[in-house]
């Protein structure tokens, strides 16, 4: 049994620019690409989305950061729906994944199934809040261990009865599994949706776990799409954990 106290966000996929395709598209509008694309394909694609509206391709990539800041100020949010990213979140609980999947617009999910996986005391992985774990490590380990034992016992009783399919045994036994059980999840989202997740979740009003996920997501996005997230910054909040402050632009 392993107990984690910090979820871990992995960036798995990011957009990339197809320069030949972009110059072909610009040529359709009578333009040639004069400026070097910014390092971030996500920022670049958002700018292309904005420029197509006004056919202002002559200025494409002159100053992506300024262009996107202006779009954010105007609330021109749909251009941030073009670039999308995929994250793998591990070491996180099923409690967190329940919260995460409430974010629907612009998101896609694939989540570990408790129906198809057989858990055991040796291999089970859990997430427990670090402050709670520090104050009662033995209590958590003892009770999580007991729950998994009960689950294994229920699975065995059902399986030994002989007339229940293996998957239905785990499907029934899983009713005993706790919210602390680790449930890996693949999360894909466009930049507009990611911005909303950070605004909603990276603050003191949330449980620490989803806030830590949103914090790691923002740290990744500040590198991956600096112009699209230029108005959002992390700071150490009163409780000693990080929160995000933004220019409060609702896109």
Ligand X SMILES: Cc1cc2nc3c(=O)[nH]c(=O)nc-3n(C[C@H](O)[C@H](O)[C@H](O)COP(=O)(O)OP(=O)(O)OC[C@H]3O[C@@H](n4cnc5c(N)ncnc54)[C@H](O)[C@@H]3O)c2cc1C
Q: Which is nearer to ligand X, 101 or 146 (CB)?
A: 101
Q: Kindly list the residues in this chain that would bind ligand X in the complex (CB under 6 A).
A: 102-105, 196, 200-201, 205-206
Q: Which is nearer to ligand X, 5 or 190 (CB)?
A: 190
219, 58 contact by CB (below 8 A)? no
Q: Which is nearer to ligand X, 96 or 140 (CB)?
A: 96
User: How near is the Cβ of 23 to ligand X at its closest, in Å?
Assistant: 34
User: How near is the Cβ of 203 to ligand X at its closest, in Å?
Assistant: 8
User: How near is the Cβ of 165 to ligand X at its closest, in Å?
Assistant: 33
Return the active site residues. 201
User: How near is the Cβ of 201 to ligand X at its closest, in Å?
Assistant: 6
Q: Which is nearer to ligand X, 99 or 230 (CB)?
A: 99
């Amino acid at each position: 049994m392993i107990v984690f106290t910090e979820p871990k966000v992995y960036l798995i996929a990011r957009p990339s620019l197809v320069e030949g395709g972009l110059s072909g598209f610009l040529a359709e509008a009578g333009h040639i690409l004069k400026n070097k694309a910014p390092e971030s394909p996500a920022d670049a694609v958002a700018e292309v989305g904005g420029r197509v509206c006004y056919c202002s391709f002559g200025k494409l990539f002159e100053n992506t950061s300024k262009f996107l800041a202006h779009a954010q100020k105007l609330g021109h949010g749909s251009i941030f729906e073009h670039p999308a990213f995929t994250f793998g979140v591990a070491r996180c609980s099923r409690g967190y994944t329940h919260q995460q999947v409430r974010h629907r617009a612009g998101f896609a999910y694939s989540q570990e199934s408790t129906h198809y996986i057989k858990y055991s005391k040796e291999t089970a992985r859990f997430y427990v809040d670090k402050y709670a774990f520090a104050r009662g490590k033995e209590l958590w380990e003892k009770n999580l261990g007991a729950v998994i034992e009960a689950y294994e016992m229920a699975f065995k009783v059902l399986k030994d009865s002989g007339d229940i399919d293996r998957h239905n045994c785990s499907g029934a036994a899983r009713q005993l599994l706790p919210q602390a059980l680790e449930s890996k999840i693949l999360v894909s989202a466009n930049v507009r949706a990611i911005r909303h997740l950070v605004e909603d979740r990276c603050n003191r009003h949330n449980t620490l776990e989803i806030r830590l996920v949103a914090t790691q997501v923002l740290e990744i996005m500040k590198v991956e799409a600096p112009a699209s997230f230029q108005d959002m910054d992390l700071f150490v909040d009163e409780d000693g954990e990080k929160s995000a402050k933004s220019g409060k632009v609702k896109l």
